[in-house]
């Protein structure tokens, strides 16, 4: 398989997303060849190291830090219609992932498929604990919430110190859900749930089968809780069953997301990506995939990353759980030896 244009690649990946299955290896190798030719920084790396790939696991990864330091894109400046930035601490240099209308459509198709499978929001009202996209146009999380449903209510706002929450908007959304007895789907980062629940006057009981999509991340914006403590707090104060709290893993450098369960499943499993993305957990010393149950650095291979690079080296430590992973935390030195580090140094 070979792609002559990004339009061909887009059509093939969209077909796989809509079908929910396909030949990942053939698509990944064809997309890698196209990106190697048209993403300048990536082309330089591959030519310098004479890199070839015969399997998707051979495709060289780009560290997320490269999205901060370099333009990791095949798009010319005039065709970049959307830019998602990393949500680092205030004042920190951020990563940037550019899209045009076509690649954004792939991103939106991918995220809708993940939300529909894992959150099943069709009968839900949706509340996002983020500012609306008009206030934070570079937030992939806010864009995700807006894409999930056309009538989402945004309960977040911008203050002098960063993101905050609007208690009045959140109260009204919860009161409406309770009054109509339509389940509520609440989407938000961990710190926003802490901000809200720490100031809640008394516990509330949302309608049965209400659910939460918790996206992790504190970054010094609130007191930090373990996932177990946070989910216990959510369940106790909102009446959301623990098996209806779904963790999502994503980042601005990706176009697909992983989830740790389908809402309603009794036991949370490892994070898994959909059929058009793969994860690997590798040793930082050897670059080889670790054994099941061992810890290493997390890599993501995402076909929906049409106009940047499909192979991403994250800064996250993870435990390999079969074809999925369990997050451990951030690596103190996130770039492994080899190609990823070489690109960051160029």
CB 340 within 8 A of CB 63: yes
CA atoms of 276 and 274, how far apart (whole Å): 6
Domain boundary among 259, 294, 315: 259
CA atoms of 25 and 33, how far apart (whole Å): 12
pLDDT tens figures, 286-314: 999 999 999 999 999 999 999 999 999 99
The number of domains in the chain is: 2
Q: Phi and psi dihedrals of 291, rounded to 5?
A: -75, 160
Write down the pTM of the prediction.
Answer: 0.91
**101 Cβ partners below 8 Å, 6+ apart?**
81
Domain assignment present for residue 329? The answer is yes
Alpha helices in the chain (DSSP H): 6-19, 24-38, 40-48, 66-69, 101-118, 140-148, 167-180, 190-198, 227-238, 339-345
Do 238 and 275 lie in one domain? The reply is no
Average pLDDT over residues 106-114: 96
Domain assignment present for residue 97? The answer is no
Would you place residue 182 in the very low, low, confident or very high pLDDT band (cuts 50, 70, 90)? very high
Would you place residue 329 in the very low, low, confident or very high pLDDT band (cuts 50, 70, 90)? confident
Domain assignment present for residue 94? The answer is no
Q: Is the pLDDT of residue 1 over 80?
A: yes
Domain assignment present for residue 102? The answer is no
Do 217 and 298 lie in one domain? The reply is no
What is the chain's mean pLDDT, rounded?
90
Would you place residue 225 in the very low, low, confident or very high pLDDT band (cuts 50, 70, 90)? confident
Do 321 and 290 lie in one domain? The reply is yes
CB 114 within 8 A of CB 257: yes
Do 284 and 243 lie in one domain? The reply is no
Q: How far is CA 114 from the centre of its chain?
A: 11
Domain assignment present for residue 66? The answer is yes
Quote the pLDDT of residue 341: 35
Q: Phi and psi dihedrals of 223, rounded to 5?
A: -65, 145
Taking each helix axis from N to C end, the angle separating 6-19 and 101-118, rounded to the nearest 10 degrees, works out to 10
Would you place residue 92 in the very low, low, confident or very high pLDDT band (cuts 50, 70, 90)? low
Average pLDDT over residues 170-191: 95
CA atoms of 19 and 26, how far apart (whole Å): 16
What one-character-per-residue DSSP string does 116-141 give? HHHT--TT-EEEESS--TTT-TT-HH
Quote the pLDDT of residue 339: 37
Domain span holding position 312: 6-72+271-345
- Residue 182: give its domain's CATH number: 3.40.50
**126 Cβ partners below 8 Å, 6+ apart?**
145, 148, 149, 151, 152, 153, 184, 185, 186, 187
Would you place residue 163 in the very low, low, confident or very high pLDDT band (cuts 50, 70, 90)? confident
Longest Cα separation, the chain: 63
């Amino acid at each position: 398989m070979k792609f002559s244009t990004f339009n061909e690649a887009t059509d093939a990946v969209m077909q796989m997303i809509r079908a929910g299955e396909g030949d990942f290896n053939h698509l990944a190798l064809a997309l890698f060849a196209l990106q190697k030719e048209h993403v300048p920084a990536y082309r330089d790396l591959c030519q310098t190291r004479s890199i070839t790939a015969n399997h998707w696991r051979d495709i060289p990864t780009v560290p997320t830090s490269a999205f901060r330091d370099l333009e990791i894109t095949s798009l010319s400046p005039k065709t970049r219609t959307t830019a998602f930035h990393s949500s680092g601490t205030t004042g920190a240099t951020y990563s940037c992932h550019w899209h045009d209308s076509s690649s954004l459509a792939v991103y939106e198709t991918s995220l809708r498929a993940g939300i529909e499978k894992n959150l099943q929001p069709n009968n839900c009202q949706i509340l996002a604990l983020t500012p609306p996209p008009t206030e934070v146009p570079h937030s992939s999380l806010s864009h995700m919430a807006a894409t999930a449903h056309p009538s989402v209510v945004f309960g977040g706002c911008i203050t002098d110190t960063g993101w905050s929450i609007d208690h009045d908007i959140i109260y009204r959304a919860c009161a409406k859900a309770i009054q109509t007895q339509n389940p509520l789907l609440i989407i938000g980062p961990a710190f926003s749930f802490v901000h809200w629940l720490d100031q809640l006057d008394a516990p509330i009981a949302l309608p049965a089968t209400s659910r939460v999509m918790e996206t992790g991340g504190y970054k010094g914006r609130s007191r930090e809780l373990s996932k177990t403590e946070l989910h216990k707090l959510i369940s106790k104060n909102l009446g959301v069953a623990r098996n209806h709290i779904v963790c999502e893993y994503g980042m601005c450098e990706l176009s697909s997301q992983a989830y740790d369960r389908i809402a309603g499943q009794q036991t949370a499993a490892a994070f898994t990506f959909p059929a058009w993305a793969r994860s690997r957990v590798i040793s930082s010393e050897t670059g080889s995939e670790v054994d099941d149950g061992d810890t290493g650095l997390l890599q993501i291979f995402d076909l929906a990353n049409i106009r940047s690079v499909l192979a991403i080296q994250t800064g996250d430590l993870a435990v390999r759980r079969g074809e999925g992973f369990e997050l451990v935390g951030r690596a103190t030195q996130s770039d492994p030896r080899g190609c990823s580090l070489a690109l960051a140094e160029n």
